[in-house]
Amino acid sequence: MIRSEQSAPLVLLVDDVKGNIIFLSKLLQDQAEIIFSTQGENALEKAENQKPSLILLDISMPGMDGFEVLKRLKANIKTADIPVIFVTEIQDTDTEAKGLTMGAVDYITKPFAPSVVQARVRNQLNLQRLNRKLLNTNTELTRMAMTDPLTGIFNRRHFINATINELQRFQRHNHPVGMMILDIDNFKKINDQYGHDIGDQVLVQTATTCQTLLRVNDVFGRIGGEEFTVLLPETSLEDAGDIAERLRTLLAETPLALDSGQLSYTASFGVTKLRLSDTNSEQALKRADLALYKAKQNGRNQVVIFDRDSVKS
């Protein structure tokens, strides 16, 4: 079951005494949606399948007791982070300490004090809400740190880090890795003639168009201005050149639609591959950049490959 952020929190009650489940359900019905189980195995299945925000777990149950249920919850990556409050008639400190040591977040003894139960459940649900908010914020900050704000693809920082990681993997396994730099031809003229807003649209369309051909595991980034880079794992130099040629053709055949008509543009490509002798990502980028420079010198709108110590069209 997929639950939205706006859904009421889901609380799983686990107790073999149905009277306790009925009492707690009525007590907490204004705070959460309630599901329940009367035995351990079924509780584990519901926890994994329905991902409750909180579990209230009885210790003394026939068959699998609460301690064993908690142990299995914590051992399962899908349920390990679900907070568990023990509810029990056992009131000695050793049992309470054992439960908390095993990972329970709280311990409530019977007979229940309604206001105490409501307060402790409320505290845990609020904590879960704050944790989700913090996680979402961190996820968004991570995304922003990795992406180019205009095009939505990776930025230079992430591309360099990805290249370093791929270089290390390449040096361990010696699989081929291609790399290319593409640069939009005469981009300054586009900005001067049409304005920077249209220039930005060209950049966005370039990113979108290239993504239609690139694979999921290819690393595509904008490293500055009108310059884009692509890292191609498990790709030979020859295949990387073929991909660059397909991208070049596609960009040339995909004009930008304007109110006044269409704006056609092209891009030049420099292609290289990672080498076992590379000690950093900049060495491969420099080779690709040299090939790109040769493509510009040769008249633009073409692919040049850096092969060994030379460049060739």
Full pLDDT tens readout for the chain, 313 residues: 445 555 789 999 999 999 999 999 999 999 999 999 999 999 999 999 999 999 999 999 999 999 999 999 999 999 999 999 999 888 888 988 999 999 999 999 888 889 999 999 999 999 988 988 888 888 788 888 899 999 999 999 999 999 999 999 998 998 999 999 999 999 999 999 999 999 999 999 999 999 999 999 999 999 999 999 999 999 999 999 999 999 999 999 999 999 889 999 999 999 999 999 998 889 999 999 999 999 999 999 999 999 765 555 5
**How do the domains of the chain map onto residue ranges?**
10-143, 154-312
**pLDDT confidence of residue 131:** 87
CATH number for the region 10-143 comes to 3.40.50.2300
**What kind and span of H or E run contains 14?**
strand 10-14
Q: Whose CA is closest to 238, among 170, 180, 296?
A: 180
Instruction: Say how far apart CA 284 and CA 178 lie, in whole Å.
Output: 9
Which of 206, 307, 194, 195 lies closest to 266 in space, CA to CA? 206
- β 154-155/219-224 pair status: parallel
Whole-number pLDDT of residue 5: 56
Positive or negative torsion for Cα 99, 100, 106, 110: positive
Q: What does the block give as tokens for 248?
A: 């070049």
**Residue 227: per-residue pLDDT:** 97
Determine whether domain 154-312 maps to CATH 3.30.70.270. Answer: yes
* Separation of alpha carbons 46 and 10, rounded Å: 11
Please provide residue 231's backbone torsions phi and psi, each rounded to the nearest 5 degrees. -105, 130
pLDDT for the residue numbered 140: 83
Q: What is the pLDDT of residue 258?
A: 93
pLDDT at 191: 96
Question: How does DSSP classify residue 147?
Answer: B
| Ramachandran angles phi, psi of 64, nearest 5° | -85, 115
Question: pLDDT at position 6, please?
Answer: 59
Q: What is the pTM of this model?
A: 0.65
Return the pLDDT at 40: 93
pLDDT at position 228, please? 98
Please name the amino acid found at residue 280. N
Domains 10-143 and 154-312 share a fold: no
Q: Which residue, chain included where needed, has tokens 């510009």? A: 296
Question: Which residue has 């396994």 as its token pair?
Answer: 173
Q: Can you give the pLDDT at residue 183?
A: 97
